[in-house]
Amino acid sequence: MRVDVVAIGTELLLGQIVDTNSSWIGEQLAAHGFDSLLQMKVGDNLARVEAVLHRALADADAVIICGGLGPTHDDLTRDAIASVMGVKLQMQQDIADRIREMFATRGRTMSDNNLRQAMVPEGAAVIVQTRGTAPGLICPVVVNGVAKVLYAVPGVPHEMKDMLERAILPDLHQRSGVAAVIASRTLRTWGESESGLNERLDPIIAELDAVGNPTLAFLASGWEGIKVRLTAKAATAQAAHELLDVWDARVRDVVGSQVFGRDGDTMESVVLQMLRERGLTLGLAESVTGGLVGARITGITGASDVFRGGIVSYASEVKFDILGVPEGPVVSEAAAAAMAVGAQRALGASVGLALTGVAGPAEQDGMPVGTLCVGLAIGDAVHTATLRMPGQREQMRQMSVITALDFLRRTLSASGA
Amino acid sequence: MRVDVVAIGTELLLGQIVDTNSSWIGEQLAAHGFDSLLQMKVGDNLARVEAVLHRALADADAVIICGGLGPTHDDLTRDAIASVMGVKLQMQQDIADRIREMFATRGRTMSDNNLRQAMVPEGAAVIVQTRGTAPGLICPVVVNGVAKVLYAVPGVPHEMKDMLERAILPDLHQRSGVAAVIASRTLRTWGESESGLNERLDPIIAELDAVGNPTLAFLASGWEGIKVRLTAKAATAQAAHELLDVWDARVRDVVGSQVFGRDGDTMESVVLQMLRERGLTLGLAESVTGGLVGARITGITGASDVFRGGIVSYASEVKFDILGVPEGPVVSEAAAAAMAVGAQRALGASVGLALTGVAGPAEQDGMPVGTLCVGLAIGDAVHTATLRMPGQREQMRQMSVITALDFLRRTLSASGA
């Protein structure tokens, strides 16, 4: 089944907002086995929206329309759909009541233009709104004797996502006539390029190509590493998850400890959890990253039971005075080790992690731009490493964060605690 | 003139990469007075790319095509354009030589498929590549007797941007027959909502609407504040900039000190420069933001002459031990003041800036989620403030960063130093 996407809003064409909705929808459609072959952005203009919908329906079996469902005169999606369906819009009283109630609950008065959101094309089904005031629409339409469907969802990402998962994907599966459950799992990896992973997983990919289920895809995520996504189709959710378990294990057998987590895991959430399980606390000493590691760790709710704090020792004197680093070159494994021990002591943490390096533009202490020295103190043991980061200032710094956290993760794993 | 955009790449439809190129191009086109009314994404399939180009050319005067200019068999943009123009591709020797030379300079051998990038549709002009190996193309085409143009640029953002600015925008201006220079200026503001700014600027907007030049637009940028962009058209660059100077001053008269910078300025770059000009150095004490302020400041090249470092005092004991905060509630102006003075002392900085607050999920010290206390020590003077941040954890933290830096900016300005 071919499902194309139309994003509506002049602000998208003007570049005031980047259309991330259609990308997200494309990703979900692919995971569910639907093709999305054309995605369009068009402004808030009735004639142009109508023309785009006619075009999209000429080729696709279904079209998902994002945006233009708000209360203002610029919001034309309902009108365009009614015109394409050749029907009228009708006020649907239960939706009007629901909108009125939503305003009342928030203690606000509803202006009348909000009732535009209760107008529904004749013959369309409503996707009840649970988050915003605009309901979604499922609109059957016949094109040259072929039954097709238009879906309309709000442009607000969390409202759109809710409706896609709750109503549109199930409706598409029903229309496609394949009674199957789709489940997917993403393995997060760090430390290998996409082509390197691809090469190592070649035998597994060949096997999967032969059986066709589950499918395997690589998603490059910049300085967040490479994601390996398995998507399984089965008669029941349990069967789909069992299939995922089998191939998840096969992939891990090959990729090994480069898999650091799955699905919603991040490197920092995994490391925090490992420290928590071992009853350890963490203190940081950051130089080149200037606080990025602490910022990411404290982005995780509940970090405070593990994370004590950090010393951002940007000036060399701060390294000497607070962290007790001996005078000398500050981009070196010796300095990183001393920083880690200093952080452990100054912050009263059982684990000290330190980063010092050269983000550029010029080299420092004779070390080239891109050099990262990591120091790690766990109890009385000290580990260090020197690594080469690629790229420009921001990329070097961001890669340093996840590299240092991965060093901590691997060292904790290897210690077998 | 209507200039539509086609982004090419199956990875865009699968959501593996978000198409930010067409948004950026749309923004540039609008600033230069061109309409962009339809933007499409299509995969790496020759027939579909050809169909999309035919469609786009039916309505638009010019079409900018991004992507599909690489060396692999998936890169079909050249073939599709030649087909639409009804001409053949020809190997262009000077481009081939240039590509070979680029590989040689980087010490790499060139595989033959790279010569695909030297194939040019007959009658097309080349936009010489300066960054990547793929040149861009300017392809005149006649549609139903009307002269139109296809532009092709690589999908790599910095290569695309270079070619758009260097070749495509000037070519569009020449074709549009309006010999005018477009210049724009963006004023960065913090501390007021878009609707609030709009209301205050209403008289100026009315005046501008009447004269039509320059134009004024608001760009909401989330936790980076609201941007006010002026775009002027004039016969010469000097005249355009003089016009911008006049209206820049008019806007600043109304918006006042909420304007913190212009164009490439960020809150952190402005604050660093103010400190530098005053011969001051900065030390941080961060609790709720966990290192975000330091991370942003050290993102600026050359921060080291002003920035000494920071103490991320996440655990209360770190506040007491390293910063010398008296025991008591740690989310309070008193604690923020003590943290600022402690940072000043511990880090040997002339200015200490401190943030403590509640990012949630639960309240702390009886203070609700969203509370931010800022402390600022400049020499012997101490300033504090308590502010309410909106939103969820990440939004609260990010808004806290710019709010605290703005507090420092305003205090330095007010001190008249």
Chain B contacts of A293, Cβ < 8 Å?
291
Q: Do A17 and A156 share a structural domain?
A: yes
| Cβ density class B128-146: b for 16+ within 10 Å, e for less | ebeebbbbbbbbebeeeee
Q: Do B236 and B97 share a structural domain?
A: no
- In this structure, what CATH number is given to the domain that contains residue B7? 3.40.980.10
Q: Do A103 and A74 share a structural domain?
A: yes
State the Cα–Cα distance between residues A134 and A99, nearest whole angstrom: 8
Which of A135, A153, A176 terminates a domain? The answer is: A176
Chain B contacts of A27, Cβ < 8 Å?
14-16
CA distances from A307 to A279, A351, B318 (A): 11, 10, 11
Q: Do B189 and B48 share a structural domain?
A: no
Chain B contacts of A22, Cβ < 8 Å?
15, 41
Which of B262, B278, B308 terminates a domain? The answer is: B262
Give the distance from residue A86's alpha carbon to the nearest chain B alpha carbon, in angstroms: 24
Determine contact, residues B375/B353, Cβ cutoff 8 Å. Answer: yes
Which of B214, B246, B262 terminates a domain? The answer is: B262
Q: Which two tokens stand for residue A115?
A: 């009732």
Q: Do A86 and A16 share a structural domain?
A: yes
In angstroms, how far is the first alpha carbon of chain B from the final one? 50
Confidence of residue B106 (pLDDT cuts 50, 70, 90): confident
C-alpha R_g of chain A: 27
Chain B contacts of A224, Cβ < 8 Å?
none
Beta bridge partners of A347: none
Q: Do B271 and B167 share a structural domain?
A: no
Determine contact, residues A40/B39, Cβ cutoff 8 Å. Answer: yes
Q: Do B361 and B344 share a structural domain?
A: yes
From the list A18, A42, A310, the residue facing B20 with the nearest CB is A18
Query: Is the pLDDT at B417 greater than 70, yes or no?
Result: no
Burial (Cβ within 10 Å: 0-12, 13-18, ≥19) of residue A213? middle
Chain B contacts of A291, Cβ < 8 Å?
284, 286, 290-295, 298, 310, 312
What is residue B358's predicted lDDT score, i.e. its pLDDT? 96
Beta bridge partners of B215: B231
Are the beta carbons of B299 and A393 separated by less than 8 Å? yes
Q: Do B67 and B97 share a structural domain?
A: yes
Are the beta carbons of B347 and A310 separated by less than 8 Å? no
SS3 B364: strand
CA distances from B414 to A405, B407, B408, B409, B417 (A): 42, 10, 10, 9, 8
pLDDT tens per residue, range B146-196: 999 999 999 989 899 999 999 999 999 999 987 677 788 999 999 888 778
What is residue B416's predicted lDDT score, i.e. its pLDDT? 64
User: What is the mean pLDDT of the segment spanning B217-243?
Assistant: 85
Number of domains in chain A: 3
Are the beta carbons of A18 and B13 separated by less than 8 Å? no
Determine contact, residues B227/B194, Cβ cutoff 8 Å. Answer: no
Are the beta carbons of B295 and A298 separated by less than 8 Å? no
Choosing among A2, A10, A12, A16, which should be mutated to test the B contact, i.e. which has the most B CBs within 10 A?
A16
- In this structure, what CATH number is given to the domain that contains residue A215? 3.30.70.2860
Q: Do A43 and A167 share a structural domain?
A: yes
What is residue B218's predicted lDDT score, i.e. its pLDDT? 80
Q: Which two tokens stand for residue B204?
A: 């100026």
Determine contact, residues B347/B308, Cβ cutoff 8 Å. Answer: yes
Q: Do A154 and A52 share a structural domain?
A: yes
In angstroms, how far is the first alpha carbon of chain A from the final one? 50
Chain A contacts of B289, Cβ < 8 Å?
295, 298
Least confident of A130-144, B51-65, B258-272, B373-387: A130-144
* Largest distance between two CA atoms of chain A: 82
Reference A138, options A81, A70, A61; nearest CA is: A81
Which region holds residue A88: left if phi is over 0, alpha if psi is between -120 and 50, else beta? beta
Confidence of residue B409 (pLDDT cuts 50, 70, 90): very high
Determine contact, residues B392/B374, Cβ cutoff 8 Å. Answer: no
Are the beta carbons of A15 and B26 separated by less than 8 Å? yes
Choosing among A29, A184, A312, which should be mutated to test the B contact, i.e. which has the most B CBs within 10 A?
A312
pLDDT tens per residue, range B334-348: 999 999 999 999 999
| Cβ density class A273-301: b for 16+ within 10 Å, e for less | ebbeeeebbbbbbbbbbbbbbbbbbbbbe
Note if the bond before A157 is cis, omega within 30 degrees. no
What is residue A175's predicted lDDT score, i.e. its pLDDT? 93
Residue ranges for chain A with pLDDT beneath 50: none
SS3 B56: helix
pTM for this entry: 0.82
Three-state SS for B257-312 is HHEEEECCCCHHHHHHHHHHHCCCCEEEEECCCCCHHHHHHCCCCCHHHCEEEEEE
Q: Do A22 and A108 share a structural domain?
A: yes
SS3 A330: coil
Reference A56, options A15, A7, A19; nearest CA is: A7
What is residue A143's predicted lDDT score, i.e. its pLDDT? 95
Are the beta carbons of A311 and B315 separated by less than 8 Å? no
Give the distance from residue A272's alpha carbon to the nearest chain B alpha carbon, in angstroms: 15
DSSP secondary structure string for all residues of B179-248? --EEEEEEEEE-SS-HHHHHHHTHHHHHHHHHH--SEEEEEE-GGG-EEEEEEEEESSHHHHHHHHHHHH
Q: Which domain holds residue B370?
A: 267-414
In chain A, which residue's Cα lies nearest the Cα of B314? A309
Query: Is the pLDDT at B220 greater than 80, yes or no?
Result: no
What is residue A179's predicted lDDT score, i.e. its pLDDT? 64
The torsion angles phi and psi of B7, rounded to 5 degrees, stand at -100, 130
Which residue is associated with the tokens 């600033």? B31
- In this structure, what CATH number is given to the domain that contains residue B314? 3.90.950.20
Are the beta carbons of B18 and A18 separated by less than 8 Å? yes
Chain A contacts of B304, Cβ < 8 Å?
314-315
Are the beta carbons of B40 and A45 separated by less than 8 Å? no
Q: Do A328 and A244 share a structural domain?
A: no
